[in-house]
Amino acid sequence: MISFEGVQLSFGSHQVLRDVSFSVPSGQMTAVLGPSGSGKSTILRLIMGLIRPQQGRVIVDGEDVTKMSERRLQRSRRKMGMVFQHNALFDGLNVAENVGFYPTYVEKRPWKQVLPEVEELLEDLGLADSAQKLPGELSGGMRRRVALARSLIYRPKILLYDEPTTGLDPYMTEVVAELISEMNEKYAVTGVMVSHDLPTVYDIADHVVLITEGQATVVGHPSELLRSEKPEVIGFASSWRRHIIEYSGEMSKEE
Amino acid sequence: MRVITSALETIGGITILSGRVARMMLRGGINLRLLLEQMVLLGVNSIPIAVIVLSFAGAVFTFVLAEELASRGAGSLVGGLQLLVFLQEMIPVFSGIVMAGKIGAAITSEIGTMKISEQLDALRALSTDPDWYLTVPRVLAGIIMMPVVAVFAGYGSWFAGYAMAHNQIGLRYSQFASAVDSLVSMHDFRMCFVKCMIFGATIVLVSCHSGYVAQGGAAGVGKAVTNGVVLNIVLIFLLDLLVTMVMG
């Protein structure tokens, strides 16, 4: 459904992506991992067509989004949803209006028709009591759920998550991770999640791609993060692997 | 060299934005609900401050002029002269400066904040053109509402001028207004409205552009607001000169 073919991208003199090629399997959750500044979020922006690479192709659902006009991109984006790292909720609109933005302004449906769908989705995500609140009045976890609802309402085929658990407390991280898993399954979407939160990736991803030094390494199943002998995987996941091994040791001692 | 490059970039950016907005308006890409919201925010909410500023300006103008004219036996010209000067210059320029400070700054800070908090990217991700959602309704509201604001501000300046003339040299209303027919023509009203519409569009376009190019967090937004307001004030005087020369 999504593939990168020899993508190169620089911002000024800084080359972010050198020669990135990988595919995202349809109907699964793919996690894009990498250290800070490695170009993970850039991958999502390329898929959305928010930026264009200097070289290479990004194929989304059979179409090369790097060559499309803004007008065609607008149509192409209708099959994608994106949850931004800092949620990017519209400050001036309340929760219900944020969630109902797409049906109201893009599909141009009357609010009376949109409202029941918004209310149903807010109920699903545990936000029924917050419909009239402004984004500034919500906690971090609630804002993340509103951002997810805003994308889910138009049933996209592809959902992109930029650091969905960053900045959340451990409990809320678990709640949001579970919610993502649940929603992906319920709405049968292809998910791409950018993260450096290895436990969450391990829990909810089906497939892992690691970006280091501007290049992509397909790791495969998340369990490979623990087993892989690839030097870049060992380098990136070493502290987490050590933590898991120590924790397993302590658990077996206690038993 | 950097200043020239930056100025050319700004002029180019505003020109391109104007072209995109004009094309979108001609294609009928206008959402009435968004337009009405902006007409209230940009226009209706600006009327009180514009009336206050222009009332003071009208009072000061008459204060300076009334005794001087009365001492030469031309006190009855005060109202007509005031209206002539205010229609041609003071109402559009002062309303423009008020709008640049109040509305221009608000637009730049809103769009600049939306840019640095990824809300503009979120709009595009939701298949929505930021020009359609943000710029077009604001520009159209600016064009429509700036003359409306000017009408109220004009009345404020007129009555403040009369109050001052009455208090200072004891003119009755009929005396104050007696020279209007001979000094003021429909052309002066037309010029006032044309200037107001041009300033309205310019203020909003410059302010939107300043917001779109904001970068670097809160400090960057602050800098964009300052740049936008300064550029707007300079452009108001420049365009005022050009329109006066063309229509004068």
Band of pLDDT at residue B54, cut at 50, 70 and 90: very high
Of A48, A89, A90, the CB nearest to B125: A48
User: For A174-184, what is the mean pLDDT?
Assistant: 84
- Beta carbon pairs, A and B, within 8 Å: 55
Task: Answer whether residue A80 shows pLDDT above 90.
Answer: yes
- Reference A158, options A34, A46, A8, A33; nearest CA is A46
Which two structure tokens, joined as six digits, stand for A27?
A: 């109907």
A106 contacts B125? CB cut-off 8 A: no
Give the mean pLDDT of B65-79. 90
Q: Are residues B127 and A106, on separate chains, in Cβ contact within 8 Å? A: yes
Place A215 in a pLDDT band, splitting at 50, 70 and 90: confident
Task: Tally helices (H) and strands (E) across chain B.
Answer: 13, 0
**B27 in contact with chain A, both atoms CB, cutoff 8 A:** no
**What gap in Å lies between CA B223 and CA B210, rounded to an integer?**
9
Nearest CA in chain B to A72: B127
Q: If DSSP codes are grouped into helix, strand and coil, which group holds residue B129?
A: coil
Average pLDDT (A141-150) is 92
Residues in A closer than 8 angstroms to B31, CB to CB, are 105
Q: By percentage, how much of chain A surpasses pLDDT 70?
A: 95
pTM for the predicted model, two decimal places: 0.88
**How far A52 CA lies from chain B's nearest CA (Å)?**
14
Model pLDDT, residue A251: 64
Residues in B closer than 8 angstroms to A50, CB to CB, are 121, 124-125
Q: Once rounded to an integer, what is the mean pLDDT over residues A132-158?
A: 92
Long-range CB pairs of A73-79 (<8 Å, 24+ gap) are A73/A49, A74/B124, A74/B127, A74/B128, A74/B129, A75/B127, A76/A49, A77/A48, A77/A49, A77/B124, A77/B125, A77/B126, A77/B127, A78/A106, A78/A154, A78/A156, A78/B127, A79/A156, A79/A157, A79/A158
**Over residues A210-229, mean pLDDT:** 83
Q: How far is CA B173 from CA B52, B159, B170, in A?
A: 21, 10, 10
ipTM of the complex: 0.88
Does B124 lie at the interface with A, CB-CB under 8 angstroms? yes
Give the per-residue pLDDT at A253. 64
Q: Is the pLDDT of residue B55 over 90?
A: yes
A208 touches A197 (CB < 8 A):
no
Evaluate if residue B47 carries a pLDDT over 90. Answer: yes
Residues B132 and B144: their CA atoms lie apart, in Å, by: 17
Of B119, B121, B128, the CB nearest to A105: B128
Question: B32 in contact with A at a CB cutoff of 8 Å?
Answer: no
Which residue in A has a C-alpha nearest to residue B133's C-alpha? Answer: A105
pLDDT at A175 exceeding the cut of 70: yes
Task: Using alpha carbons, select from A97, A109, A178, A106 the residue that is nearest to residue A141.
Answer: A178
Alpha carbon distances (Å) from B239 to A15, B12, B235: 44, 17, 6
pLDDT reading at B18 higher than 80? yes
Per-residue pLDDT band for A247 (boundaries 50, 70, 90) equals low
Residue A172 contacts residue A179 (beta carbons within 8 Å): no
Specify the pLDDT at position A171. 82
What's at A166, amino acid-wise? T
Lowest mean pLDDT among A112-116, A118-122, A244-248, B232-236: A244-248
Q: What pLDDT score was predicted for residue A223?
A: 83
Choose among A80, A88, A150: nearest Cβ to B121: A88
Most confident by average pLDDT, A7-16, A227-236, B21-30, B85-94: B85-94
Find the mean pLDDT for residues B231-243: 96
Pick B126's closest partner by Cβ from A45, A91, A101.
A101
Min Cα–Cα distance to chain A from B119, Å: 5
Tokens of B103: 């509305």
Residue A209 β-bridge partners: A32, A218
